[in-house]
Structure 1
Amino acid sequence: MECKKEKNLEKCSCSYEPCNRKGICCECLAYHLKSRQLPGCCFPPDAERTYDRSFEHFARLVQEGKV
């Protein structure tokens, strides 16, 4: 399958500027999952900017109705 990096970048909400996986969703997802995290695009903007991408943080946001 061909990567659609340029199209993915249009919707990528990752605020971590030196990230070399921006727009390469399959690499981003694999990277975060191996660390028990979710990619930044799963979080609302204010939560994404904390760089806490943990499953636990995501679960707290769900419980609070923020996701």
Structure 2
Amino acid sequence: MLGVSPMECRKDKNLARCTCTYEPCEKKGLCCECVVYHRSRGELPGCFFPPEAERTYDRSVGAFIRACQKR
């Protein structure tokens, strides 16, 4: 593959699709870092949540399950 290796971050493209509303986040658009950070805390990234649940900033697995059950 020419240009970008499969593991190279595409921050500009990621930012265009990022649904996280936590503004001081330094991992925004750096999906690999975001996933590693949240998993190390037993959480899920904000982009996994529906918008109304994401805005609570509760990234716990329990919050994710509750949000999915409401759908």
TM over 0.5: yes
Report the equivalent of 2:66: 60
Number of the residue aligned with 1:5? 11
2:44 to 27, 38, 44: 38
Q: Structure 1 unaligned runs (5+)? A: none
Larger radius of gyration: 2
Let me know the Cα RMSD of the aligned residues. 0.8
Deviations 1:1-39 (A, max 9, x none): 211000000000111111000000000000001111110
TM-score, with normalisation over the residues of structure 2? 0.86
What is the percentage of aligned positions where both structures have the same residue?
Answer: 60
Rounded to whole Å, the distance in 2 between the matches of 1:59 and 1:49 is: 15
**2:35 aligned to which of 8, 22, 29:** 29
Q: Where does structure 2 lack aligned partners over 5 or more consecutive residues?
A: 1-6
Q: Which residue of 2 aligns with 1:48?
A: 54
The alignment partner of 1:38 has SS state of: coil
Whether the 8 Å CA contact 2:34–2:45 is kept in 1: the answer is yes
